[in-house]
């Protein structure tokens, strides 16, 4: 539950409108916005861990997923692979935004839980 709260605060309260809109741009400004968002997001996990590896996994994966947005393409591939051949799979560009948000949040939460479960060497 604590990692869910950290995720929600980092993704929906700490993130600025500028970061949310610019983080996917394929230029320096987009990379900067994604990196700034990832740093703010990761800071929300400091009450849960001070382990630099855990924090790096949380922050780096979050920034990469938000900047490159690979999930609509993965949703499309899943539909192509798991649906009957006669069923037309929704193209990645047409994946409903709500579905992208739900899958995005699910992946972030799963990565965060895995990162927080990493055992110290």
Residues 3, 116 contacting (CB under 8 angstroms): yes
Average of pLDDT values for 58-62? 98
**Tens digits of residue pLDDT in 73-97:** 999 999 999 999 999 989 999 999 9
pLDDT at 44 over 90: yes
Alpha-carbon span 108 to 59, nearest angstrom: 10
Question: Could you tell me which of 46, 13, 44, 20 has the C-alpha nearest to residue 34?
Answer: 20
Neighbours of 114 (CB within 10 A): 13
Going by C-beta distance under 8 Å and a sequence separation of 6 or more, which residues neighbour residue 76?
89, 90, 91, 92, 95
When divided into structural domains, the chain yields a total of 1
What percent of the chain has a predicted confidence (pLDDT) above 90? 96
- What residue numbers bound the domain in which 32 lies? 2-117
pLDDT value for 49? 97
If pLDDT is split at 50, 70 and 90, which confidence band does 115 have?
Answer: very high
């Amino acid at each position: 539950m604590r990692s869910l709260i950290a995720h929600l605060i980092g993704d929906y309260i700490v993130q600025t409108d500028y970061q949310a809109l610019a983080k996917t741009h394929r230029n320096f400004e987009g990379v900067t916005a994604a990196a700034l968002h990832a740093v703010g997001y990761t800071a929300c996990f400091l009450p849960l861990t001070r382990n630099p590896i855990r924090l790096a996994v949380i922050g780096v994966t979050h920034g990469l997923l938000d900047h490159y947005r690979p999930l609509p393409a993965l949703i499309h591939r899943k539909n192509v692979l798991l649906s009957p051949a006669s069923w037309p799979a929704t193209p990645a560009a047409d994946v409903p935004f709500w579905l992208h948000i739900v899958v995005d949040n699910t992946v972030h939460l799963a990565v965060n839980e895995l990162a927080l479960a990493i055992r110290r060497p």
